[in-house]
Amino acid sequence: MAADVLVAERVDLVAPVDAAPPRAGGAWAALVRRPTFTVSAIVIVWWVFVAIAWRWFGLDPFGDTGAKLAPPSPEHWFGTDRIGRDVFARVLAGAESALLIGPLGTLIATVLGTALGLVAGYRRGWVDQLFMRTFDVFLALPTLIFLLVIVGAFGSSPLVLAAAIGVLFAPGIARIIRAEVLVEMGKDYVTSAQVQGERTRLILARELLPNVWPQVAVQAALSIGGAVFVASSLSFLGLAAAPPSPDWGLAVNENRAYLQGAWWTLVFPTLAIASLVVSVNLVADNLKEVLRG
């Protein structure tokens, strides 16, 4: 309460009140100072690097090493699985598929959701109603059943899966962007652009988008974690990756029977999924706190 009162209600004559959104540089400096952000970012960068670079290290995720279900040892850091494949190589190689479908789906969801949210918030009226009710339907659909139907109809190529995840995650993003836009619509700079005869497309792109951009970034980051999880779930169910793919979700499914006998075949892919999803979510939370003040 006391702090509220102190906030200058009127415009400062001498020193401009710094009521502006944080500048990019300031936000970055604030992020780097947060240990959870730094550590998570390093984990993500590591997985991205691995996803691209695993081939260059002479790893063979598919070949039989001769030793079946060997425990972790200096030759096989993470042990081997039931047909003698090196788990370490498979976990590293699995980063590729984990980082393909989830992030691609998030990209589609973000672009689609932001566009729909901007239009719904700006146009309001029946357009808004139509969009929002459609979103409600999508949000009410059980995720996995929806994906099962899509995979059944269109196959399980990465592109189809990414598109399906995009469609699934877009309504949530759109609703939040719409709410942001409604706040911005109350400000006179939008009215001013309308009075000057600015085209709707440019009001959306130049006036509104830059001002809802922090929220877009936060929503995208929050969605990646969920999307990676959904993609792994699909693999676990055998809907996305098929053997002999080193996909993490698939690995968890294939090896779940060995939890007691050969825990390493299950624990390392699980840890990989967890480290990626948790890191992405921590980065998103930090982004949210810093950008949203």
Contact set with other proteins (CB under 8 A): 1-6, 8-21, 186-189, 191-198, 206-207, 210-211, 213
The minimum distance between CB 213 and other proteins, in angstroms, equals 8
Q: Which amino acid belongs to residue 266? A: L
User: Least distance from C-beta 190 to other proteins, angstroms?
Assistant: 8
- For residue 244, is the peptide bond before it cis, meaning its omega torsion is within 30 degrees of 0? yes
Structure tokens of 233?
A: 């779930």
Supply the minimum distance, in Å, between the C-beta of residue 216 and other proteins.
13
Nearer to other proteins, 214 or 249 (CB): 214
Query: Six-digit token pair at 231?
Result: 């993609």
CB of 230 to other proteins, least distance (A): 33
In the complex with other proteins, which residue's Cβ is closer, 55 or 199?
A: 199
Q: Please name which of 234, 120, 103, 106 lies closest in space to residue 170, comparing C-alpha atoms.
A: 106
One-character DSSP codes across 95-150: HHHHHHHHHHHHHHHHHHHHHHHHHHHHH-HHHHHHHHHHHHHHHHS-HHHHHHHH
Report the nearest approach of other proteins to the CB of residue 272 (Å): 39
Which one, 27 or 69, has the nearer CB to other proteins?
27
CA 105 to chain centre: 8
C-alpha 253/C-alpha 71 separation (Å) is 19
Give the nearer residue to other proteins in terms of CB position, either 3 or 137. 3
Could you tell me the smallest distance in angstroms from the CB atom of residue 30 to other proteins? 11
3-state secondary structure of 86: strand
73 or 129: whose CB is closer to other proteins? 129
User: How long a stretch of residues is the chain?
Assistant: 293
Nearer to other proteins, 12 or 75 (CB): 12
